[in-house]
Amino acid sequence: MDFTRRRLLTTAAAASAAAVAMPNIMTSDKAYAAPLKKGEPIKVGLLFSLTGALAVPEEDSTLVLQYAFDEINKNGGVGGVPVEPVIVDAKSDFGVYSEKTKELILREKVTALFGCYTSASRKAILPTVMQRNHLLYYPTCYEGAECTQNTICTGPLANQHSQDLIPFMVEKFGKKVFFVGSNYVWPKESNKNAKIWLEKAGGELVGEEYIPLGSSEFGPVLGKIRDAKPDFIFSTVVGASDIAFHKQFKQEGFKVDSMPIASLTTGEIETRAMGAEFGAGHFLSAPYFQTLDNPTNQKFVENFLKSKYGKNGTTHYNMEETYLTAYVFKAGFEKAAAAVGFENVTPRAIRDNSGGIRVEDNISPEGLVWIDENNFNTWLKPKIGQCQADGTFKIVKAAAEHVKPDPYSIYPDAGTCTATGLKGPDGKLRTNVI
Amino acid sequence: MDIGSLLNALILGVSIASIWLIAALGLTIIYGAAGVINMAHGEFIMLGAYSSYMLQYYFGLPYLLCIPASFVIVAAVGLVLERGLIQYLYNRPLDTLLATYGVSLVLMQGVRLIFGSDPKYLAAPALFSSNISLGFASVSTFRVVILLVTALCVLGIWLLFYKTRFGVQVRAVMQNKEMAASFGINSSRIYMMTFALGAGLAGVAGSLFGVLAIVLPTMGASYVVQAFLMVVTGGGSLAGTVVASGVTGQLQSVFAFFSNDTFARFLIFVLIVVFLRFRPQGLFAQAGARR
């Protein structure tokens, strides 16, 4: 085709006209999942990054979910039929996340989506998920302050994450604490929560610094920490930066005995990448550790590492939270099928039937958890582990009771999240709040 | 604020400057001498880190020997790349840009296929994970190592370019390729050697960054932008890159000392944009005709 300037302009005009017209054709709030038939596999979408900067945690999520669905299929599947995961690569690009979400829902007609690691990618796809009245299983710790009717989350919320860690550290090491985090939404919101626990524990915040996401230069921050002389450091640094932080902490001559780092992110994968000598002595709060001493976990670790999906050689809190989503899905689907009939199960029906679902301790490696009936986050027991010289974690404290997930713990004025929407103080119900 | 902390920040500034400089050094050679805008520079850095990891993990080579070995390995990769691809593109700078970007993707995905996407661990001698304390001032041993290696590299390049016959030839080709050729200099060979040299220097940077930060297939992306900034601000010459890195590194540390890291970066990038608005040729523009 001969592309003259005029031609290019008319084509462009036509294309933009089509783009403007598109929303009118496409909007419909009917569920787009394929009608289910007995005997045909149930399709689910795995939306994680297999390439790019987010591939480190997200590739493991894809692997552990494939493992979980294999395990479920081997034991009779979901509602008697096998699950077929459709794997896509979101390429660490938020545009691609949203594009692939549409593809999974509209073309593949999946019954549920499992995906995302960062809050930014979740926020990128939620509008699409909500518009199609679909269902997203989000398997990572996050900041909360959302009340949608289309998500189920199995990671700890900010209010569950640091509730035990801060008082534990204050009691053990002293009152003065320095906050270091990556510069994006989750660390900042987590730190707001942490400040509340810190105040209750009688601690004192001597400094708060945020590092550009992905940065590996911790010289200036460590200089400030040296001047502020805290008793411990509270870290929400993520990804590659976290590894650089721990390395430079030791390289700059800081001693772990007198000023340990209490982290919400530094687990088995990170410790292996930085080398155990840089991780040893520091603390992590998470619902799951590879070393948890119970038969379910021992079986999970052994079978997973032996399987073809265990090539990266470790299990991790984020992988375990992802593993649980498969079983939450199975239970939710079967409950919905019993309520409305197998053929009539829609993503929304699964979500409506998922409140209160329990994953018992014969399946859940971290022990019994259950889905909250109002906000559809997870009741769990956060634990504190200390990294040992060999890179494994020793559990030094486990919560005695399950902690209630509260997405609006630091915004009590916003109202309370219920199954049908966010109930404001004025009594008004708002749906799909993100 | 006390003087001791400020002094510490100034010392740190020198160290940050050396990190920016070693990241940009290879690019300066390739861009300054061969005129190639090498988008795969970050991946050369990454290859340096993986070369060190591989030599250490599979052959048990001590870390200090991994640094020169990474130079050799990545220089060899650069040599092959120059002979196989870049040499056909010298008269088409825009195509070089695209081709090297493609090469960067190939290298990144290739490493991911071979080594997997999980971060790797590069061990350094225990001595390097401590610090040197001089009363009020404190600096990590490994940062001193980086500074020394960077100084050695700069000195080596300076000697090579200004004190040897090869250096005279390189500078002649830089100024006017045709004229140099008419005096019997094999410019194709000069380009090949300088490209390999630049790649090798990126390899050295990679084996240092692997210990300072992380070994990952994507690690190069975070260094390539700042490397380009240093080269462009410096004007493509060795002295220009040294001065540009020195000033920005110091500013980064001082700004971060008085405010925070995010703001320091913001301010530096704004200053560089303003600087380039009024001096687009950079600090020390090279003499002679550019292709």
- Quote the distance between the C-alpha of residue A117 and its chain's center: 5
B38 at A interface, C-beta within 8 A: no
Asked whether residue A271 falls in the same domain as residue A306, the answer is no
Joined tokens for residue B128: 């390097």
Asked whether residue A97 falls in the same domain as residue A149, the answer is yes
Asked whether residue A253 falls in the same domain as residue A307, the answer is no
Residues B5, A273: C-beta atoms closer than 8 Å: no
Residues A219, B12: C-beta atoms closer than 8 Å: yes
Asked whether residue A65 falls in the same domain as residue A121, the answer is yes
Report the alpha-carbon distance of residue A114 to residue A137 in Å, rounded. Answer: 5
Report the alpha-carbon distance of residue A253 to residue B141 in Å, rounded. Answer: 9
Residues A55, B117: C-beta atoms closer than 8 Å: yes
Sign, CA dihedral B82-B86-B91-B94, equals: negative
**Span A350-366, pLDDT tens digits:** 998 998 899 988 889 99
Contacts of B117 in chain A (CB under 8 A): 50-51, 55-56, 59
pLDDT score, position A384 = 93
Amino acid B180 reads A
| A29 inside domain | no
Q: Are A81 and A39 in contact (CB under 8 A)?
A: yes
Q: Are B149 and B205 in contact (CB under 8 A)?
A: no
| A212 → chain B, closest CA residue | B262
Q: Which of A59, A210, A251 sits opposite B140 (nearest CB)?
A: A251
**Does A427 score more than 50 pLDDT?**
yes
Asked whether residue A268 falls in the same domain as residue A182, the answer is yes
Joined tokens for residue A225: 């920490």
**Does A19 score more than 50 pLDDT?**
no
Asked whether residue A149 falls in the same domain as residue A177, the answer is no
Q: For all residues of chain A together, what is the average pLDDT? A: 86
| A64 inside domain | yes
| A269 inside domain | yes
**Does A315 score more than 80 pLDDT?**
yes
Q: What is the dihedral of CA B54, B55, B58, B61, to 10 degrees?
A: -150
Contacts of A275 in chain B (CB under 8 A): 121, 123
Q: How many domains is chain A built from?
A: 2
Q: Residue A275, Cβ neighbours under 10 Å: how many? A: 20
Q: What is the mean pLDDT of residues A207-230?
A: 89
**Span A354-405, pLDDT tens digits:** 988 999 888 899 989 999 988 899 999 999 999 999 889 999 988 888 998 9
Amino acid B250 reads Q
pLDDT score, position A35 = 66
- CB pairs below 8 Å between A and B: how many? 124
**Span A39-93, pLDDT tens digits:** 788 999 999 988 777 777 888 899 999 999 999 999 988 888 999 999 999 888 8
Asked whether residue A273 falls in the same domain as residue A221, the answer is yes
User: Which residues 257-286 on chain B approach chain A with CB closer than 8 angstroms?
Assistant: 257, 260-262, 264-265
What DSSP character marks residue A390? T
Q: Are B133 and A253 in contact (CB under 8 A)?
A: yes
Q: Are B34 and B194 in contact (CB under 8 A)?
A: yes
Return left, alpha or beta for A145; rule: phi > 0 is left, psi -120 to 50 is alpha, else beta: left
Q: Which of A220, A243, A273 sits opposite B256 (nearest CB)?
A: A220
Q: Are B159 and B148 in contact (CB under 8 A)?
A: no
B120 at A interface, C-beta within 8 A: yes
| B109 → chain A, closest CA residue | A51
| A338 inside domain | yes
Q: Residue A183, Cβ neighbours under 10 Å: how many? A: 18
Residues A219, B119: C-beta atoms closer than 8 Å: no
Contacts of B121 in chain A (CB under 8 A): 272-275
Contacts of B130 in chain A (CB under 8 A): 250-251, 253
Domain boundary among A313, A342, A371: A371
* Regions of chain B short of the pLDDT cut 70: 1, 286-291
Domain of residue A277, CATH code: 3.40.50.2300
| A61 inside domain | yes
Asked whether residue A69 falls in the same domain as residue A184, the answer is no
User: Which residues 57-76 on chain B approach chain A with CB closer than 8 angstroms?
Assistant: none
Asked whether residue A164 falls in the same domain as residue A280, the answer is yes
Domain boundary among A317, A347, A371: A371
Asked whether residue A237 falls in the same domain as residue A275, the answer is yes
Report the alpha-carbon distance of residue A262 to residue A234 in Å, rounded. Answer: 5
| A358 inside domain | yes
| A10 inside domain | no
Q: Which of B15, B116, B214 sits opposite A216 (nearest CB)?
A: B214
Q: Which candidate in B121, B138, B145 is best for mutational testing of the A interface (most A CBs within 10 A)? A: B121
Residue B69 to residues A145, B22, B63, B213, B219: CA-CA distances in angstroms? 51, 17, 10, 20, 20
ipTM metric: 0.88
Q: Band of the pLDDT at A415, cuts 50, 70, 90?
A: confident
Q: Which of A214, A253, A273 sits opposite B222 (nearest CB)?
A: A214
* Domain membership of residue A353 as a residue range: 42-156+294-371
Residues B252, A220: C-beta atoms closer than 8 Å: yes
**Span A118-171, pLDDT tens digits:** 888 898 999 999 988 899 999 998 888 888 889 999 999 888 888 889 999 999
Asked whether residue A308 falls in the same domain as residue A245, the answer is no
Q: Residue B192, Cβ neighbours under 10 Å: how many? A: 18
Q: Are A280 and A387 in contact (CB under 8 A)?
A: yes
Q: Which candidate in B130, B260, B266, B267 is best for mutational testing of the A interface (most A CBs within 10 A)? A: B260
Q: How far is A76 from chain B (nearest CA, A)?
A: 33
Q: Burial letters for B169-182: b for 16+ Cβ neighbours within 10 Å, e otherwise?
A: bbbbbbeebeebee
- Quote the distance between the C-alpha of residue B200 and its chain's center: 9
Q: Which of B142, B214, B257 sits opposite A243 (nearest CB)?
A: B214
| Strand A42-48 to A83-89 pairing | parallel
Residue B239 to residues A157, A252, B231, B282: CA-CA distances in angstroms? 52, 30, 10, 11
| A173 inside domain | yes
Domain boundary among A371, A386, A413: A371
Residues counted in chain B? 291
Q: Band of the pLDDT at A414, cuts 50, 70, 90?
A: confident
Joined tokens for residue B64: 């200090």
Asked whether residue A136 falls in the same domain as residue A176, the answer is no
Sign, CA dihedral A148-A149-A151-A153, equals: positive
Contacts of B129 in chain A (CB under 8 A): 247, 250-251, 277-278
